[in-house]
Amino acid sequence: MDRISQLSDDLLLRILSCVPTKDVVATCLLSKRWQFLWMLVPQLRYNVINHTGDYKSFSQFVYRSLLSNKAPVLERLHLNLGPDCPAIDIGLWIGCPNLEELFLERHDQDSEMDFTVVVPSLRRLSMMDKNYVKCGRYVIDVPSLKYLNITDEAVYNVRQIENMPELVEAYVEITQGVTHKFLRALTSVRHLSLCLSLSEIMCPSGMIFNQLVHLNLYTFAQGWWDLLIYMLQGSPKLRFLKLIDKHDSLLFGEETPIGWKLPSSVPECLLFSLEAFEWIGYKGRRGDREMATYILKNATCLRTATFTPESSDVGEKYHMLKELASIPTASTSSKLLFD
């Protein structure tokens, strides 16, 4: 303990930032030097599961420790809450005027909980909703947000996300209920990963992703090929495109339908900006070949096209490579890479 106490305050605060806030507060009993150090910790972590006692005592602890925190900037607030947590508490806790990063996780028991995230200072937001039934409504208004990560498995969730003009990077995985307004809130993003079920939105027309340069699209959802075409049409500066045909939930990638509808004109990004195309988990099915052919035959600036096959069979992989190598490419300098 003496050796730890000899460390600088800055280093101790970094160490304490990795510890649950419940344990951080307890350090005030160690010695006189530690009496007030816990109040300056820039990252707070609350988990109702680790708290002994009822929800009321947990809530009081969160309020007291938040009000006692004197850190110049609250870099990160991690909340793992249970079914007894009312929305009013969440709203007050995340309403810190100097909060920069928020991680919020909800579970099945929280299905009726509505909440609003309106934090002008927030730069990073991670939300995980592991609810497979009807869930509550949430509204997000974060004008300074740079990084967004949403994993939402609720079947019927009401989502309202708006005012993210500074957004740089986003990962969005939503089971159902995607709206045009939701996608429109992402149009300022530069790096976008989409893992969507597109049963409700088959034509997000009129959306222009003027800043988008890097797109990752997961292909397990029905209609991903339509979403890809619309994203290509609406992303004139796109430089990097990655298709990912695998998913943590073990869902199988949806095959591109044979004879899928081609756009009436070649997307601008294929003609003037796309430099790298990658397909992870490529299966070489007829519809997949059609999609690969369309991109290779129209991407005039393409430098590399990388295919990582799902199959480990040498003969099957050779057959896929032979088919891909026979496709005429629009770019004379492009390289075909086969992992």
Q: What CA–CA distance (Å, rounded) separates 199 from 320?
A: 30
Interval 45-74 mean pLDDT: 88
Q: Is pLDDT larger for residue 60 or for residue 6?
A: 60
* Average pLDDT score over residue span 218-226: 80
Alpha-carbon distances of 44 from 15, 81, 92, rounded to whole Å: 12, 14, 15
The chain-wide mean pLDDT, for the chain, equals 84
Note the pTM of the prediction, 2 decimals. 0.81
Instruction: Count how many residues are written for the chain.
Output: 339
Q: What's the maximum distance between 2 C-alpha atoms anywhere in the chain?
A: 75
Give the C-alpha separation, 136 to 172, whole Å.
Answer: 18
Q: CB within 8 A of 34, min separation 6: which ones?
A: 5, 27, 28
DSSP state of 293: H
Q: Are 61 and 51 in contact (CB under 8 A)?
A: yes
Residue 140 has pLDDT above 70, yes or no: yes
Does pLDDT of 80 surpass 80? yes
Give me the pLDDT at residue 177, please.
62
**222, pLDDT greater than 90:** no
Q: How confident is the model at residue 40 (pLDDT cuts 50, 70, 90)?
A: very high
Angle between helix axes 314-325 and 286-298 (nearest 10 degrees) is 40
* CATH number assigned to the domain covering 167-339: 3.80.10
Q: Which backbone phi and psi does 24 adopt, to 5 degrees?
A: -60, -45
CA 320-238-142 angle, 5° bins: 125
pLDDT recorded at residue 247: 55
Indicate if the pLDDT at residue 142 is higher than 80: yes
Q: Where in the chain is the domain with CATH 3.80.10?
A: 167-339
Q: How does pLDDT run across 183-210, given as a tens digit for each residue?
A: 888 999 999 999 876 554 545 567 899 9
What does the pLDDT average to over 169-195? 85
What's the rounded Cα separation, in Å, for the pair 85 and 98? Answer: 23
Residue 31 confidence (pLDDT): 80
* DSSP structure string for 216-278: EEE--STTHHHHHHHHHHT-TT--EEEEE---TT-PPPPPPPTTPPPPSS--HHHHHT--EEE
CB contact set of 56 (below 8 Å; sequence gap of 6+): none
Name which of 29-43, 168-182, 221-235, 283-297 the model is least confident about: 168-182
